[in-house]
Amino acid sequence: MKRREFLKTAGVGLAASAAVAAPAIAQSSPEIKWRLTSSFPKSLDTLWGSSETFAKYVSEATDGKFQVSTFAAGEIVPGLQALDAVGAGTVEMCHTAAYYYVGKDPTFPLFCAVPFGLNTRQQNAWFYDGGAQKLMDEFTKKFNVVSLLGGNTGCQMGGWFRKEIKEVADLNGLKMRIAGLAGNVMAKLGVVPQQLAGGDIYPALEKGTVDAAEWVGPYDDEKLGFQKVAPFYYYPGWWEGGTTQHFMFNIPKWEELPKNYKAIVTAAIPLFARKGFAGTTTRELAETA
């Protein structure tokens, strides 16, 4: 075969190969746009910041093909309705704390935080090596969501109080913002538990709608300004020894993702919860990002 004819034939073959390969590559990396609703306000650069960091890494890993737009609590739905929005398909995913939904089913707090329960390292060990992930997925199927770990605050504080607490009797009739099963325990002591999203706590404390509130710890609490309206701060928060957050996904939308995108999402999330960070607070994780 003459050299010129050989090169011409080879060129046609390469072009044909490229024509076949290009659609396959494009098909495996489609352009996808999701919305993420958070249960946290933008003023919390750690908790809210986790969603932004997650979205950034997913976009970078897919060359911008998979875009996740993040929305703070109240921008699409209120913070305590994030699970409902994902289950209904209003949004594709959320970042939230499972114990917010104790009113739907008291099982939810078990995967987040319970009084005198697991610390951060124990929570992560339970999810990664003790079967908690499988248990949670089986449980949340009826809410049309699947979940992946989305960070841990570590041990929390006992909360801010408008008046000093000197004895157990001072708790009787006290209206307190407190989440999950902890409210049931405090109710035994006479407290009237209230479930409020983070962004709603300050005005409730300021107006006296609640007399006390627990949130996370000094860094996050001061971001929300609680010290300005409730001067008494107590420790420890025995009801939250290691509070786990979750990224929750609408099941049909999750199943529609290409395998490589699922792998990227699963790899991006452990920045906040992988074994190497077990016991690390959300703030420390944000600083390492």
Closest CA to 225 of 245, 242, 200: 200
Please answer whether residues 243 and 97 qualify as being in contact, where contact means their C-beta atoms are separated by less than 8 angstroms. Answer: yes
CA dist list (Å): 13 to 8, 10, 63, 117, 168: 9, 5, 29, 65, 84
Radius of gyration of the chain (CA): 23
Query: What is the model's pLDDT at position 83?
Result: 98
Residues 12 and 116: their CA atoms lie apart, in Å, by 71
Q: What are phi and psi of 245, to 5 degrees?
A: -100, 165
Q: Same fold for the domain at 32-153+242-288 and the one at 159-234?
A: yes
Query: What is the model's pLDDT at position 29?
Result: 85
Would you identify the CATH topology of the domain 159-234?
D-Maltodextrin-Binding Protein; domain 2 (3.40.190)
Contacts of 281 (CB under 8 A, 6+ apart): 120, 152, 153, 154, 217
Residues 143 and 10: their CA atoms lie apart, in Å, by 56
Closest CA to 46 of 274, 275, 278, 271: 271
Question: Mean pLDDT per 10-residue run, the chain (289 residues)?
Answer: 50 46 61 98 93 94 97 97 98 97 96 95 94 96 96 94 96 96 95 95 97 95 96 93 96 97 88 40 39
Q: What are phi and psi of 235, to 5 degrees?
A: -140, 150
In terms of phi and psi (left: phi > 0; alpha: psi -120 to 50; beta: otherwise), the region of 237 is beta
Domain locations along the chain: 32-153+242-288, 159-234
Contacts of 269 (CB under 8 A, 6+ apart): 54, 148, 149, 150, 247
- Strand (E) or helix (H) holding 219: helix 218-223
CATH 3.40.190.170 fits 32-153+242-288, yes or no: yes
Task: Please give the model's pTM, rounded to 2 decimal places.
Answer: 0.84
Please answer whether residues 151 and 272 qualify as being in contact, where contact means their C-beta atoms are separated by less than 8 angstroms. Answer: yes
Residues 86 and 36: their CA atoms lie apart, in Å, by 9
How would you label 154-168 residue by residue, b for 16+ Cβ within 10 Å and e otherwise? bbbbbbbbbeebeee
Please answer whether residues 12 and 19 qualify as being in contact, where contact means their C-beta atoms are separated by less than 8 angstroms. Answer: no
Structure tokens at 34: 């999701």
Contacts of 189 (CB under 8 A, 6+ apart): 168, 171, 172
- Provide the terminal-to-terminal Cα distance of the chain, rounded to the nearest Å: 59
Closest CA to 73 of 122, 40, 102, 50: 40
